[in-house]
Structure 1
Amino acid sequence: MIPNMKFYVISIVSIFLALAIGIYIGFTLDAQNFLVEQKEDIASKLEEKFDYLRSENENFKKEIEKMEVKNSQYEKFNETVYPEIIKNRLSGTKVAIIETNDEYIYSGIGKTLEMSGATVVNVTTIKDKFLNEDTLKEAYLKSGIDKDELKENVIGKAISDLSTAIISDGNEEVIKYFEEYGLLNIIGNIDEPVDYVIIAGGSDSKDIERINILDKTIIDSVKKMELPIIGIEKTTVKNSYMKEYKDYRISTVDNVDSIIGKVALIMSMEGRPGNYGVKSSAESLLPDPSYAISE
């Protein structure tokens, strides 16, 4: 009996199907072996990389520890040497410090000035409400001033009177009433002339109008009395006054809370004007000691 055509077709199809299945199984096994090998290779390389990074991290830690030791040594050296560097550089100089707001306190500057031989005659902290016209008028009237004198620019008059009283022998009576009304706080004497004025800036909120009204008027008043004035600031403040002070053409030190800044302050006050510190407004970190001291 001769097999029919259908039998042959089914046989041939079965053979090719079996062959295809065999090829697929073989390919799959090879692919699985390949993937396993690739995974093992990748895992090996990742492990090598991890070991390298771990080794580098340990090296960095050791380097950081060395740097921390060096920094500690430098800090100790600076703390030991800096009093000798500034000693007696400002002997006999009488200084007034004006803090134009009470958001940043500069109490440590007094100690630095004393180490340099200077005397801090007074420290004035100006409160926010000092620029309130109505309160200023009340203080003036209580001090006995004529009402007609308060018709124009009461704030400008108050700032000028304050500046005069702080650095010379101006109207101390009205300043007492400024204190009584909580417009400012003064530590020290305001009845003794000074040789140098330090104006301390920096604030939590940028108020250009306040700077132009208060700080600039103080600076202009001091300049009119032909006294030197320098602007200072801490390294970290939310809003810096250094650019404005520089524009007002006075010397500045923007990192006065650091030993470097304290040295820069004393060297600048000694007669080396300039803009010193670490901020963008600074021209150099420290005054050049080789520069001749200006009189």
Structure 2
Amino acid sequence: MRYYIVSIASIFLSLAIGIFIGFNMNGNDIYVTQQQELINSLERRFDNFKAENDALENKIQNLSHLNEKQNILIENIVEDVVYKKLQGMNVAIIETTDNYFYVDLKDILASSGANIPVTIQYLNKAFRINGEELREINELFRLNLQTTEDMIYFINNEITNFLLKKEITAVFQYLITKEYIHCNLPYENLEGIGIDRIIVAGGSNENLNNKIEKLEVNLIKRLDNLNFKVIGVERLDVENSFIANLKKIKIPTIDNVNTRIGQVSLIYVLLGAEGHYGEKATADSLIPFYSMQQVRGEFVE
């Protein structure tokens, strides 16, 4: 009896082992099949991604070629578009930074027939004045300047006074001599300076504490209070833009004045178009969409 029980137990044990082995073999087959399906799925997705990437690269290349052609077209027609549009207009330029060059700004104004009787540039020294330099200024002109902000307000005041009165005071000459500002002026005929528009060109490659509010906003408010017509411009590549601040004080702005499109926008704005133009998030439109006859307040000599 004991023998039969052992035999039966052995049979059931063998059957259990056989079932277990068979299940594992089937499980391995299922696992292998799943892995193969996953690999096939990844390969299909990779092929799809590659096809999409190739299509995007072709699209980018086509857009690049189209953009290149458009730039060539714009470059060839800009001079004709702006030619003598500002004939007889006197435009002063104030650059609030020496981190960026605005030579092309002067070139397009010259092409449009505008006169540039005054250019003034703030130099970096004005933003890094030290205690000894402040003491010297205070002693010479009986002032009480304490901080860099005081110095900026002081320079703003002297520049606006010069533009209003057309006089080079001892203080203004000191600022030039000590290289706080740089000026190109018709010294032989200061009284004959006429100013129809003022362009304030700014932007900075560093985030100086409250520079925009202390310098550009304060300066423009002073000029506006004196009834000067002011336009704010900057290059497309400035690291710290001041356009958002200028929009709050409601003057026209252009954020890409180093481009041909931005320069055409400038001509329209100088003729009287209002708004904020360029390629940044602060722009309302790429360019003023007016004919020259539609521009409000068109300049008349």
Superposed pair shares fold, TM > 0.5 = yes
Per the alignment, residue 104 of structure 1 pairs with 100
Aligned-residue offset at 1:75: 1.4
Q: Distance in 1 between matches of 2:151 and 2:51?
A: 69
Letter in 2 for 1:229: V
Aligned-residue offset at 1:90: 0.9
Per the alignment, residue 169 of structure 1 pairs with 166
1:138-287 matches, within 5 Å, as: 138=136, 147=142, 150=143, 156=153, 158-166=155-163, 169-171=166-168, 173-189=170-186, 191=190, 192-203=193-204, 204-208=206-210, 210-287=211-288
Aligned counterpart in structure 1 of residue 19 of structure 2, from 11, 16, 23: 23
Aligned-residue offset at 1:281: 3.5
Q: Distance in 2 between matches of 1:42 and 1:155?
A: 67
Could you say if the C-alpha distance between residues 165 and 30 of structure 1 is closer, same or farther in structure 2, counting changes exceeding 3 Å? same
Q: Is the 8 A contact 1:160 1:217 kept in 2?
A: no
Single out whichever of 55-64 and 273-282 deviates more from structure 2: 273-282
Aligned-residue offset at 1:94: 2.1
Q: Is the 8 A contact 2:268 2:295 kept in 1?
A: no
| Partner-residue secondary structure (3-state), 2:116 | strand
Per the alignment, residue 86 of structure 1 pairs with 82
Aligned counterpart in structure 1 of residue 69 of structure 2, from 66, 73, 87: 73
Q: Distance in 2 between matches of 1:158 and 1:62?
A: 53
TM-score by length of 2: 0.81
Aligned-residue offset at 1:111: 1.0
Aligned-residue offset at 1:224: 4.3
| Partner-residue secondary structure (3-state), 1:111 | helix
| Partner-residue secondary structure (3-state), 1:119 | coil
Bigger radius of gyration, 1 or 2? 1
Letter in 2 for 1:258: T
Single out whichever of 156-165 and 64-73 deviates more from structure 2: 156-165
Single out whichever of 22-31 and 6-15 deviates more from structure 2: 22-31
Aligned-residue offset at 1:232: 0.8
Letter in 2 for 1:294: G
Q: Is the 8 A contact 2:123 2:180 kept in 1?
A: yes
| Partner-residue secondary structure (3-state), 1:282 | coil
Single out whichever of 121-130 and 255-264 deviates more from structure 2: 121-130
Single out whichever of 266-275 and 242-251 deviates more from structure 2: 242-251
1:127 aligns with 2:123: yes
Q: Which runs of 5+ in 2 are unaligned?
A: none
1:293 aligns with 2:289: no
Aligned-residue offset at 1:166: 4.5
Could you say if the C-alpha distance between residues 170 and 221 of structure 1 is closer, same or farther in structure 2, counting changes exceeding 3 Å? farther
Could you say if the C-alpha distance between residues 59 and 141 of structure 1 is closer, same or farther in structure 2, counting changes exceeding 3 Å? same
RMSD: 2.9
Could you say if the C-alpha distance between residues 53 and 215 of structure 1 is closer, same or farther in structure 2, counting changes exceeding 3 Å? closer
1:85-125, CA deviations, whole angstroms, 9 ceiling, x for partnerless residues?
A: 22211112222211123233322211111121112223221
Letter in 2 for 1:240: S
TM-score by length of 1: 0.83
Aligned-residue offset at 1:136: 6.7
Letter in 1 for 2:73: F
Q: Which runs of 5+ in 1 are unaligned?
A: none
Could you say if the C-alpha distance between residues 156 and 81 of structure 1 is closer, same or farther in structure 2, counting changes exceeding 3 Å? same
Q: Distance in 2 between matches of 1:128 and 1:43?
A: 61
Q: Distance in 2 between matches of 1:157 and 1:20?
A: 98
Q: Is the 8 A contact 2:78 2:260 kept in 1?
A: yes
Percent of pairs identical after alignment? 30
